[in-house]
Amino acid sequence: MKTLPELTQSIMRTLEARGESITFAESCTGGQLAAAFTAISGASAVFNGSVVSYANTIKEQWLGVRPSTLEQYGAVSRECVAEMLSGVLNMAHADYAIAVSGIAGPTGGTPDKPVGTVYIGIQTPETSTIYHHVFEGNRESVQHQSVEFAIKTLHEMIK
């Protein structure tokens, strides 16, 4: 089984060969997806940048998430992640995007959205899919599992 850096490098090679690019809109992962890509030499060939939109005001102002979406569904929702994907794709003019919003903990959970609740959206030129997970573990573990899921899933989608 490939390591996370090997999967990331494979994604980068595939995108570079196709002349395609990728961007991210991250909340609970705090830039860890971007860090996974920029840790590998040559990332600039496919990765122009991303947004860490931790505050709702940044989700609104930078990514165009509608206030009504945040009010009705919350930042940790399928609906918010869908708008984060659209916003970051428009901003970065990329071919692929990943958006992540969740509750990494240890605080912030509710009965409806417990700690570990994460929505991960992946947009390709052909599809847009949003996944819902409730990951177990501490804050670091929830963040790592979110990044790992996103990279592994994208790798499967593009190979």
Number of other residues whose CB lies within 10 A of the CB of residue 42: 12
159 pLDDT exceeds 90? no
Residue with tokens 């390591």: 3
> Is the Cβ–Cβ distance between 96 and 15 less than 8 Å?
yes
- As a whole number of angstroms, the distance between CA 64 and CA 5 comes to 31
**Against a cut of 0.95, is the pTM above it?**
yes
Residue 64 is predicted with a pLDDT of 98
Please state the domain count of the chain: 1
CA–CA separation, 116 and 136 (whole Å): 6
What is the per-residue pLDDT across 105-157, written as a single tens digit (0 to 9) for each?
999 999 999 999 999 999 999 999 999 999 999 999 999 999 999 999 999 99
Q: Which domain, by its residues, includes 110?
A: 4-158
Domain of 23, CATH number, reads 3.90.950.20
Which residue is associated with the tokens 């709702």? Answer: 56
Say yes or no to pLDDT of 86 above 90: yes
pLDDT band at 1 (very low <50, low <70, confident <90, very high): confident
pLDDT of residue 153: 98
Distance (Å, whole) CA 57 – CA 27 = 12
pLDDT in tens, 16-68: 999 999 999 999 999 999 999 999 999 999 998 999 999 999 999 999 999 99
Kindly report, residue by residue over 66-82, the tens digit of the pLDDT: 999 999 999 999 999 99
